[in-house]
Amino acid sequence: MPIIEVSGLTKTYRVPVKGEGLGGSIRSLWSREYKDVEAVRDISFQIDSGERVGFLGPNGAGKTTTLKMLSGLLHPTSGRVTVAGFTPQDRVVAFLSSITLVMGQKQQLLWDLPPRESFALNRAMYGVDPVRYARTLDSLVTMLRIEAVLEKPVRNLSLGERMKCELVAALLHEPSVLFLDEPTIGLDVEMQVQVRKFIHDYNHDTGATVILTSHYMQDIAALTPRLLIIDRGSLRYDGKLTSLAERVAPERRIVVKGGPSELGELGFQRVEGDMVASLSPEGTNQLLSRVLARWPMVEVSVESPPLEEVMARYFREAT
């Protein structure tokens, strides 16, 4: 059953247009001209309860604007949106208690206080029962392994520790819908893996719906079986990640770890120390057999093109 329903969603901004040079600046003080800019244009989709959905697009495509309309921070110019049965822009208490919005470049923790005190403040703001709060906090702290940082001032925490605490603060009221905007931005590789695992496990354990935007394709590949792709304000794709990859980049790659240069005779090329060949799925087994017949001891793998390349091809084709 859909927990998010979007129909004909549009957001238009009226922005001033200034003439060139000093004269244009002076004229704009008395007579200002405007133009309409569509940040989001007539998009429609549905998301079922418990889904994990990736929301992708280039910079300026309309991703964050859409998330802000879904969370009620922005009012749409036209169209209809319901989230968990509520109209987001009404910002009723029951709606706010059912969602959370985590933005990787924003923070809600109090800088000079330890995280535990920010958590207690959130408990009071959301009116969470103390017994339920203690249970939820213990569970989140255990999942994210942050017991050692709860009493340290936030300013003394690493970026990864702060991001984990931001997730705890955002989830203490047990929302049913998570809007995650670049939750792993700036984190090192190990911390990205930990945050991804937490989001996956939280979705599995609670059934919460997750809508994720990220420029790290590892986040998308690990977490979101379904993609929504927006470009220049319009929804361009709504479907499975695997289906998009098969359509845009159907070939396979045979990678021979540190393979001999003689593999070049079979169409391989040296890439960062390995020998790599790209070919259709139908020809993969035949070439693999030839490689292993001549070099039976090599370390070899068969891979799909990385998601970064899939998306790059998709946007090249779309222009």
Strand, helix or coil for residue 84: coil
Q: Look at residue 34 in the predicted model and tell me its pLDDT.
A: 81
Q: Domain spanning 2-246 has what CATH number?
A: 3.40.50.300
Quote the Cα angle for 19-25-29, to 5°: 110
Q: Look at residue 139 in the predicted model and tell me its pLDDT.
A: 94
Q: What is the pLDDT of residues 268-277, one digit of tens each?
A: 999 999 999 9
For 15, counting Cβ atoms within 10 Å of its Cβ (0-12 exposed, 13-18 middle, 19+ buried), the class is: exposed
Q: Tell me how far apart the alpha carbons of residues 312 and 103 are, in angstroms, rounded to a whole number.
A: 24
Q: How far is CA 222 from CA 151, 190, 193, 194, 217, in A?
A: 32, 14, 9, 12, 8
- Average pLDDT of the residues of the chain: 91
Positions in the chain short of pLDDT 70: 23-26, 29, 319
Where residue 24 falls (left for φ over 0; alpha for ψ -120 to 50; beta otherwise) is alpha
Q: What is the pLDDT of residues 54-66, one digit of tens each?
A: 999 988 899 989 9
For 162, counting Cβ atoms within 10 Å of its Cβ (0-12 exposed, 13-18 middle, 19+ buried), the class is: buried
Q: Look at residue 215 in the predicted model and tell me its pLDDT.
A: 86
What pTM value is reported for the model? 0.85
- CATH 3.40.50.300 residue spans of the chain: 2-246
